[in-house]
Homo-oligomer: A and B are copies of this chain.
Amino acid sequence: MAAVRIGIIGAGSAIFSMRLVSDICKTDSLMGSEVVLMDIDENRLNAVSFLAQRISDEFDAKIRFSTTTQVDEAISNSDFVINSALVGGHAFLERMRKIGEKHGYQRGIDTQEFNMVSDYYTLTNWNQLSYFLEIAQKMENNGAKNPWLLQAANPVFEGTTLIHRQTNTNMVGFCHGHHEVRHLADAIGIPMSQIDWQVAGVNHGIWLNRFEKDGENLYPKLEEYFNSRKEWHPKDPPDDQLSPVAWDLYSFYGMFPIGDTQRNSSWKYHYNLETKKKWYGAPWGGFDSDLGWKWYQDKVYTIAKTLQEMMKMIMEQASATKDLSVKAFINENINQFPEDIRDQVNQIFDHSRLSGEQHIPFIDAIANNNPTRLVVNTMNSMGKDETEVVIQGLPNDCACEFPAIVDGRGIHPEVLAPKLTERIIKWYLMPRIMRMEWALEAFIKKDRSLIVEFLMRDRRTTSYEQAKAVVEEIFENNG
């Protein structure tokens, strides 16, 4: 049992922070730890901190929380730093998108083949990548012994590659997309606990290379499910694991795409709203259509607002009633949250359920030498023998996502069996990796002409002048 110091950067993001905080409070082996919550928005930070401390107290976790607006304070002497900050916030992304659309780039210039996720900016948010590097560099000599940086903010693929190449900080990138495997398990009616599965690829481009039960390949059952299915309708825009697009990608690539991978492909599924609806289902046409993204933005806004109101109420009541139970209060007021996230909110206050985020299990695995299976983003070569890679056929020096056992000695990747199909390597991952390289060079050299050149390979570009103009306007407004 180890008490550690954890810094959380971007902790004002209430729902994500509460998930992490409650995970810490439920992990007995981290009892007595210290958590530094950092954000530039003090009001949101104070609310999160107050709630966090109450949860710790109610769970008797003995976690000490403090707050800061200074990134250095979250990093200094911290054994683990979790970075979930989005520099500029969603407002910045929408501003850049709007400029792109003005110049003929539907959904903005960061929306690219094999990277269509609407908040995964690799071309225009240089401030985000700079912040990644700044944090990683500060961690190189932060006073702790072998500290770890846990990257939660996107773009995880570009960020993990960049930080590994340019700093000596121990760093791992996390995403929760792989949890979507459970939808496939549900479809064939087999509990996840009985399934032996692996996923591999790069962040937001991962593929189900293994899907077995007692040594039996379950892919035929998946095919049966899809072939016998009459109709399918998404329950909301992100609901695409069982969508026609997933099935179509499987048909071509030979393995199932998982999680955000369905959103990231060629323009085949994205030419226009009609095309999107066909593949991702009506009425939204998926997560990354104008409709789908608006749905998501509205939801995020509603949740944040509800949470803020509730926090305010809790804080007011707390000063009046000494023995207020936050859990009980949330329970009484759960109906104020949108129906589809009530379970998520309840989970935070349910001692028996972790959030599914991998950050705290990772910290526990490292700090307490508690072997844990996680899906991590780290370098394909793992820094050992450069020619020995986890995903064969991919370069050794780029970040990949794969399952690994994590313990006190670090990250031990699983051997992938079977290997990813050649088609996934050559038709999907290599093109995506190529674009990662282009984006990183542009960022490292701060060379706008490279973004223009990137756009010369974009189907929406019809002239050099168009590409030049959009890049100029974006970087003039990119302060």
Q: Are A434 and B430 in contact (CB under 8 A)?
A: yes
Residues of B within 8 A of A422 (CB): 441
Q: How far is the CA of A422 from the CA of B430 in the complex (A)?
A: 17
Q: Is A462 an interface residue (CB 8 A)?
A: yes
What residues of B have a CB within 8 angstroms of the CB of A430 in the complex?
A: 430, 434, 437
Q: When the two chains form the complex, which single residue of B266, B427, B434, B458 contacts A438, counting CB atoms closer than 8 Å?
A: B427
Chain B CB count within 10 A is highest, among A113, A271, A427, for A427
Q: A247-278 vs B: 1/0 string, CB under 8 Å?
A: 00000100000000000001110010001000
Q: How far is the CB of A119 from chain B (nearest CB, A)?
A: 24
Contact A456/B266 with A431-B434, A438-B427 known, Cβ cut-off 8 Å: yes
- A410-459 residues with Cβ-Cβ distance < 8 A to B are 422-423, 426-427, 430-431, 434, 437-438, 441, 449, 453, 456-459
Q: How long is the Cα–Cα vector from A141 to B155 in the complex, in angstroms?
A: 54
Asked whether A217 is an interface residue with its Cβ less than 8 Å from the other chain, the reply is no
Is A344 an interface position by the 8 A CB rule?
Answer: no
**Bound CA–CA A456/B249 (angstroms):** 13
- Asked if B271 and A453 sit within 8 Å, CB to CB, the answer is no
Alpha-carbon distance between A45 and B431 when the two chains are bound, in angstroms: 46
Do A457 and B113 form a contact, CB below 8 Å, given A271-B462, A463-B271, A463-B275?
A: yes
Selected contact of A457 from candidates B252, B266, B387, B449, CB within 8 Å:
B266
Give how many A residues have a beta carbon under 8 Å from the other chain's beta carbons: 28
Name the residue on B nearest A248 (C-beta).
B464
Q: How far, in angstroms, from A458 to B266 measured CA to CA in the complex?
A: 10
**Which one of B268, B426, B463, B464 contacts A456 once the chains associate, using CB atoms below 8 Å?**
B268
Is there contact, CB below 8 Å, between B427 and A453? yes
Most buried by B among A423, A437, A457, A463: A457
A423 to B454, alpha carbons, bound, how many Å? 12
Q: Which of B252, B441, B459 contacts A426 (CB 8 A)?
A: B441
Residues of B within 8 A of A252 (CB): 449, 453
Report the bound CA distance from A437 to B393 in whole Å: 13
Contact, CB under 8 Å: A457 / B437: no
A463 nearest CB neighbor, chain B only: B271
Q: Are A426 and B437 in contact (CB-based, < 8 A)?
A: yes
Contact partners of A423 in chain B: CB under 8 A: 441
CA–CA, A45 and B252, complex, Å: 46
Complex Cα–Cα for A267 and B463 (A) = 9
Interface residues of A in 108-150 (CB under 8 A from B): 113
The interface bits of chain A over 268-301 (1 if a CB of B lies within 8 angstroms of the residue's CB, else 0) are: 1001000100000000000000000000000000
Set of chain B residues within 8 Å of A449, measured between Cβ atoms: 252
Chain B, residue nearest A467 (CB): B268
B residues less than 8 Å from A268 (CB atoms) = 456, 464
Q: Determine if B426 and A434 form an interchain contact, defined as CB atoms under 8 angstroms apart.
A: yes
Give the residue name and chain of the B residue nearest to A252 (CB).
Answer: B453
From A387, A422, A431, residue with most partner B Cβ within 10 Å: A431
Q: How far is the CA of A387 from the CA of B430 in the complex (A)?
A: 19
Q: How far is the CA of A458 from the CA of B459 in the complex (A)?
A: 7
**Nearest neighbor of A386 in chain B, beta-carbon distance:** B387
List the 10 closest A-B pairs by CB distance, nearest first: A459-B459, A266-B456, A268-B456, A426-B437, A268-B464, A430-B434, A266-B457, A271-B463, A271-B462, A252-B453
24 A-B Cβ contacts within 8 A?
A113-B457, A252-B449, A252-B453, A266-B453, A266-B456, A266-B457, A267-B456, A267-B457, A267-B461, A271-B462, A275-B463, A275-B464, A387-B387, A422-B441, A426-B434, A426-B437, A426-B441, A427-B438, A427-B453, A430-B437, A431-B457, A458-B459, A459-B459, A459-B461
Interface set of A (CB-CB < 8 Å, partner B): 113, 252, 266-268, 271, 275, 387, 422-423, 426-427, 430-431, 434, 437-438, 441, 449, 453, 456-459, 461-464
Given contacts A113-B457, A426-B437, 11 further A-B contacts (CB under 8 A): A252-B453, A266-B457, A267-B457, A268-B456, A271-B463, A275-B464, A422-B441, A427-B453, A430-B434, A430-B437, A459-B459
